[in-house]
Structure 1
């Protein structure tokens, strides 16, 4: 794991105390410029890896957990994607986006990690917190926040690139809502079909959207309540 200044933790928090899982972005080691992203409960399942080499991928991070979902010998990798070519500002690329819908927030309680976690206010019903990971080329002009964006954190990689994380409120398109319901249903059916107890499984799941240009977006989904009741 990288040094303390190269770790950013964040979560969405509602006015009534519900929250998302705590997500973490970090640089793996002081001499490398690989960037990783995962959420708390689902971190033992899947991890986003943005390698300095240009190999960007999402894979099951825990072989034991992966065995529950994969056939023997099946690759733990389930998505690889190119670095997006489009720039949102001179020298800056959207590397990955996380959407935390208000509808999916649960009573997880305070983060277990001692490191600071940035609490991002949830904008309310039918909306979400949108968190974007930006990568800036060495020497690029500092990223300027748009009107609705809030700074979450930033750090510089050994190769000179800059990691900048911003958040903003967003609405939920109808196809997101439909996809969330589908994932919720499919996940419950899969887990119960494997003979697992919902109360013992982390309810947080990730719904992925992707475009051929390399852009990737993950939506956090709570497939059941913390006491194991289907939603």
Structure 2
């Protein structure tokens, strides 16, 4: 059976899909980001954005008469996400560095002596990691998805169970301080492991090169 030759539009569309697939992005996600960073900077109009998304929705892109729009979108994606061979963007690295800086400067990783420190203050400090995550993801948006997936897993499986359990218990005068400290120690161990994972995954520690 003779293979059908692909049009330029189809080839461009395949290239776009190949880039966004590892990022777990949909065509509509890309178009919204493209519109916001180009047309949306100059025209703040919901109806025009809706019209744009309808006109250039993925099912219609490949059927456009001119390949210009596809080429423009492809170049935008390549620049916006600066995709490396391992799928990590510079924004992933920036977000990971900022989160790790917060993590390593807080009680989430730093030990406290048994008879020192305020448990309520320690819990509040750990809570701020959620705010840090939200701020970073709002700032870097779609460009830090690999970082977001990794850090969301840490926050939801390590930090959230701890904060959910203690946010009311710690307000009781009869809360078990020994149990709190024991579970805090466990969280610190897991948090230090996550910090190491961030550093290795996103190359946050520069290669020192061969020893002399």
Normalising TM by the smaller chain, what interval? under 0.3
More helix by share: 2
More strand by share: 1
Greater Rg by CA: 2
If asked which structure has higher relative contact order (CA below 8 Å, sep 6+), I would say 2
TM-score, normalised to structure 1's length? Answer: 0.24
